[in-house]
Structure 1
Amino acid sequence: MENRKPFNGTTRRLLLAFDIGTTFSGISYSILDPGKIPEIRPVTRYPSQEHVGGDSKIPTVIYYDKRGKPVAIGAETLRDGIEADAEENGWQAARWFKLHLRPKSAVLPGDDPIPPLPFRKSIHEVFTDFLAYLHACAAAYITEAHGAHLWESISDNNVLYVLTHPNGWAGPQQTAMRRAASLAGLIPNTLEGGARVMFVTEGEASLHFCISNGLDLENPDDDASDGEEGRGVLIVDAGGGTVDVTSYCKGADGSFTEIAIPDCYFHGSAYVTMRAEKYFRNRLKGTRFERDVEILSSRFDRNTKHVFRREDESLYIQFASHRERDAELGIRGGRLTIEGKDVAPFFAPSVKCIVNAVKKQMASAHVPVKSVFLVGGFSASQWLFDQVRAQVEPLGVAVSRPDTHVNKAVSNGAVSFYLDSLVKSRIARATFGINVMHTYDSTNKEHVRRGHLLKIHPVTGRPSLPNGFDVILPKDVEVGATEEFRRTYRTSAKRREDLKSHSVNLLSYNGDSDDPMWVSDEPGTYTVVCKVEADTAAITAVERTNPAGETYYEIEFYVVLMFGLTELKAQIAYMEDGEQRRGPAAVVFSGGSSAFAGTGAAR
Structure 2
Amino acid sequence: MPFRSPYNGIHRKLVLAFDIGTTFSGISYSILDPGLVPEIKGVTRFPSQEQVGGDSKIPTIIYYDNTGKVCAAGADAVREGVEDSIEDEGWTKAEWFKLHLRPASSRVTHKLPPLPKKKTVIDVFADFMEYLYTCARTYIQDTHANGGDLWASVQNHIEFVLTHPNGWEGAQQARMRRAAVRAGLVPDTNEGRARVHFVTEGEASLHFCIQNGLTTAAMMKGKGVLIVDAGGGTIDLSAYGQSKSRNKFSFQEVASPQCHFQGSIFVTNHARTFLDVLLKDSKFHEDVGHITKCFDKTTKLRFRNMDEPQYIKFGTARDKDLQLGIRSGQLKLKGADVAKFFGPSIECIVKAVTEQRKCASKPISSIFLVGGFAASDWLFSQLKTSLEPLGLDFCRPDSHVNKAVADGGVSFYIDHFVTARVAKYAYGIGISHHYDETNVEHKKRSSRRYEDASGYELISRGFSIILPKDSQVSETTEFRSPYNYTMKSIESFRNELEIDILCYRGLSEKPEWTDVDTDMYSTLCTVKADVAQFKTTLRPQLGKGSRIYFKLNFEVILSFGLTELTAQLSWKENGEEKRCSAEIVYDYDIIESGFDVEDSAEPDEESETDVDQESAKGFDDEEGSKMETGSEKADKALDKVDQSEKESETVVKKEAENELVKGLGKESMEDLDTASNKDFDKMLEDSEVSNVKGSAKKLDENFDETFKMMVDNEEKDSDIDKDKDCDKAFNEVSIKVSGKAVGDGGDDEFVVI
- The alignment's TM-score, normalised by the length of structure 1, stands at 0.92
Q: Which moved more, 1:66-75 or 1:372-381?
A: 66-75
Task: Work out whether residues 2 and 210 of structure 2, in 8 Å CA contact, stay in contact via their aligned partners in 1.
Answer: no
Residue deviations 1:546-593, cap 9 Å, x none? Answer: 446665433322211011221111122233344333221111111226
3-state DSSP of counterpart to 1:164: strand
Check if 1:544 corresponds to 2:540: yes
Check if 1:293 corresponds to 2:291: no
Check if 1:333 corresponds to 2:325: no
Residue deviations 1:502-523, cap 9 Å, x none? Answer: 1111112233332222223442
1:553 aligns with: 550
Q: Which amino acid aligns with 1:363?
A: K
Task: Work out whether residues 215 and 225 of structure 2, in 8 Å CA contact, stay in contact via their aligned partners in 1.
Answer: no
1:601 aligns with: none
Distance of 1:524 and 1:325 partners within structure 2: 53
The share of aligned pairs that are identical, in percent, is 49
Task: Work out whether residues 206 and 413 of structure 1, in 8 Å CA contact, stay in contact via their aligned partners in 2.
Answer: yes
2:559 aligns with: 562
1:37 aligns with: 37
Structure 1 residues 323 and 593: CA distance shift in structure 2, 3 A? closer
Alignment of 1:241-390 (within 5 A): 241-253=233-245, 254-390=249-385
2:124 aligns with: 126
Q: Which moved more, 1:91-100 or 1:204-213?
A: 91-100
Distance of 1:246 and 1:199 partners within structure 2: 16
1:599 aligns with: none
1:239 aligns with: 231
1:423 aligns with: 418
TM-superposed CA distance for 1:151, in Å, is 0.5
Distance of 2:90 and 2:396 partners within structure 1: 42
Larger strand fraction of residues = 1
TM-superposed CA distance for 1:155, in Å, is 4.0
Structure 1: unaligned runs, 5 residues or longer: 595-603
2:199 aligns with: 200
2:514 aligns with: 519
1:583 aligns with: 580
Q: Which moved more, 1:8-17 or 1:450-459?
A: 450-459
Task: Work out whether residues 500 and 525 of structure 2, in 8 Å CA contact, stay in contact via their aligned partners in 1.
Answer: yes
- Which of the residues 366, 391, 414 maps onto 2:409? 414
Structure 2: unaligned runs, 5 residues or longer: 592-753
Structure 1 residues 278 and 512: CA distance shift in structure 2, 3 A? closer
1:461 aligns with: 455
Alignment of 1:134-213 (within 5 A): 134-146=132-144, 147-156=147-156, 158-213=157-212
TM-superposed CA distance for 1:497, in Å, is 6.5
Q: Which moved more, 1:460-469 or 1:242-251?
A: 460-469
Distance of 2:356 and 2:122 partners within structure 1: 33
3-state DSSP of counterpart to 1:28: strand
3-state DSSP of counterpart to 2:215: coil
Q: Which moved more, 1:185-194 or 1:491-500?
A: 491-500
TM-superposed CA distance for 1:45, in Å, is 0.8
Q: Which amino acid aligns with 1:82?
A: V
Residue deviations 1:454-488, cap 9 Å, x none? Answer: 73434222222222221111111111122111112
Structure 1 residues 213 and 333: CA distance shift in structure 2, 3 A? same
Distance of 1:91 and 1:166 partners within structure 2: 29
Q: Which moved more, 1:558-567 or 1:266-275?
A: 558-567
Residue deviations 1:367-396, cap 9 Å, x none? Answer: 111111100010110000000110111111
Q: Which amino acid aligns with 2:368?
A: F
Q: Which amino acid aligns with 1:474?
A: P
Structure 1 residues 197 and 451: CA distance shift in structure 2, 3 A? closer
Alignment of 1:438-477 (within 5 A): 438-440=433-435, 445=439, 449=443, 452-453=446-447, 455-477=449-471
Task: Work out whether residues 238 and 377 of structure 1, in 8 Å CA contact, stay in contact via their aligned partners in 2.
Answer: yes
- Which of the residues 506, 519, 535 maps onto 2:530? 535
Residue deviations 1:59-84, cap 9 Å, x none? Answer: 00112223322211001122123234
Q: Which amino acid aligns with 1:397?
A: L
Distance of 1:275 and 1:558 partners within structure 2: 51
Distance of 1:121 and 1:368 partners within structure 2: 47
Distance of 1:564 and 1:159 partners within structure 2: 24
Distance of 2:421 and 2:458 partners within structure 1: 36
3-state DSSP of counterpart to 1:168: coil
- Which of the residues 481, 484, 508 maps onto 1:487? 481
* Higher gyration radius (CA): 2
3-state DSSP of counterpart to 2:117: helix
3-state DSSP of counterpart to 1:336: strand
Distance of 1:413 and 1:96 partners within structure 2: 22
TM-superposed CA distance for 1:94, in Å, is 1.3
Distance of 1:496 and 1:214 partners within structure 2: 64
Structure 1 residues 2 and 395: CA distance shift in structure 2, 3 A? closer
Task: Work out whether residues 423 and 469 of structure 2, in 8 Å CA contact, stay in contact via their aligned partners in 1.
Answer: yes
1:85 aligns with: 85
Check if 1:506 corresponds to 2:501: yes
TM-superposed CA distance for 1:276, in Å, is 1.3
Distance of 1:516 and 1:563 partners within structure 2: 20
3-state DSSP of counterpart to 1:329: coil
Task: Work out whether residues 543 and 551 of structure 1, in 8 Å CA contact, stay in contact via their aligned partners in 2.
Answer: no
Residue deviations 1:300-322, cap 9 Å, x none? Answer: 11222111100122333222233
Distance of 1:516 and 1:119 partners within structure 2: 42
Task: Work out whether residues 29 and 415 of structure 1, in 8 Å CA contact, stay in contact via their aligned partners in 2.
Answer: yes
Distance of 2:78 and 2:216 partners within structure 1: 37
Distance of 1:135 and 1:61 partners within structure 2: 15
Task: Work out whether residues 455 and 547 of structure 2, in 8 Å CA contact, stay in contact via their aligned partners in 1.
Answer: no
Distance of 1:139 and 1:472 partners within structure 2: 44
Q: Which moved more, 1:444-453 or 1:338-347?
A: 444-453
Distance of 2:387 and 2:492 partners within structure 1: 62
Task: Work out whether residues 541 and 554 of structure 1, in 8 Å CA contact, stay in contact via their aligned partners in 2.
Answer: no
1:68 aligns with: 68
Structure 1 residues 47 and 575: CA distance shift in structure 2, 3 A? same
Aligned length: 583
Distance of 2:204 and 2:566 partners within structure 1: 20
Residue deviations 1:134-193, cap 9 Å, x none? Answer: 11111111111221101011243x211111111111011111111111111112222222
Backbone CA RMSD of aligned residues: 2.1
3-state DSSP of counterpart to 2:469: coil
TM-superposed CA distance for 1:448, in Å, is 6.4
TM-superposed CA distance for 1:343, in Å, is 0.9
3-state DSSP of counterpart to 2:237: strand
Distance of 1:448 and 1:334 partners within structure 2: 72
